[in-house]
Chains A and B, each alone.
Chain A
């Protein structure tokens, strides 16, 4: 079945450091890919998405490119801030044939801690 694998955390960085969180997926067909962020005590917020190969999603300085050849969707940010400290989830849209099932498949999440 379809699956998502994220790098294990926690990831600890100093403010203004470069961030990469690796995400790879296994899927049949052409799923859409997402990054969600979860702050303490809150639900998930959509950070960015990409719906087809070579698409780049971007938001709030974060970027990720849909790489079908390497089945990856790595999250990057050039300069992290303390306020970026949160848990980040990579996800894909589950499909049956070419239709979305309404189900998202999530990775295990990566905790990011940014120190001043």
Chain B
């Protein structure tokens, strides 16, 4: 079966711009989580959605937001980009909210 699909794979944006990343979970999975991975901070939890509801949110500023659609696909948005937002953004999906399958990520570079 198809895995978790994240688009785009790579993205270059300028400071101050906004960006939207997309995640298509494994068919039937209703839980989608997002993580930011950087060399300095490691893997940090952004938020988790289940059946279109945000159930949990990490310690990130309000510039980071997300949503989930009725087909479980999810998007995350970062507004007013800063250089420090450069990272690998990983999406993961789960049926149970426990065993997560990760996508390959979107590499965001802010210049």
**Chain A residues close to B by CB (< 8 Å):** 32, 36, 41-46, 49, 89, 93, 100-109
> Is A43 a contact partner of B97 (Cβ separation < 8 A)?
no
Interface string of B10-54 (1 = CB under 8 A from A): 000000000000000000000101010000001101001010000
Say which residue of B31, B50, B100 sits within 8 Å of A46 (CB atoms).
B100
- Compute how far the CA of A93 lies from the CA of B48 in the bound complex, rounded to whole angstroms: 13
- Compute how far the CA of A46 lies from the CA of B58 in the bound complex, rounded to whole angstroms: 22
CB distance from B21 to the nearest CB of A (A): 13
B90 within 8 A of A: yes
For A41, list chain B residues within 8 Å (CB).
104
For B97, list chain A residues within 8 Å (CB).
100, 102
**Chain B residues close to A by CB (< 8 Å):** 4, 6, 31, 33, 35, 42-43, 45, 48, 50, 55-56, 58, 90, 92, 94, 97-105
Main secondary structure of the interface of A (DSSP, over half): strand
Say which residue of A44, A45, A105 sits within 8 Å of B45 (CB atoms).
A105
> Is A43 a contact partner of B90 (Cβ separation < 8 A)?
yes
- Compute how far the CA of A41 lies from the CA of B100 in the bound complex, rounded to whole angstroms: 19
For A46, list chain B residues within 8 Å (CB).
99-102
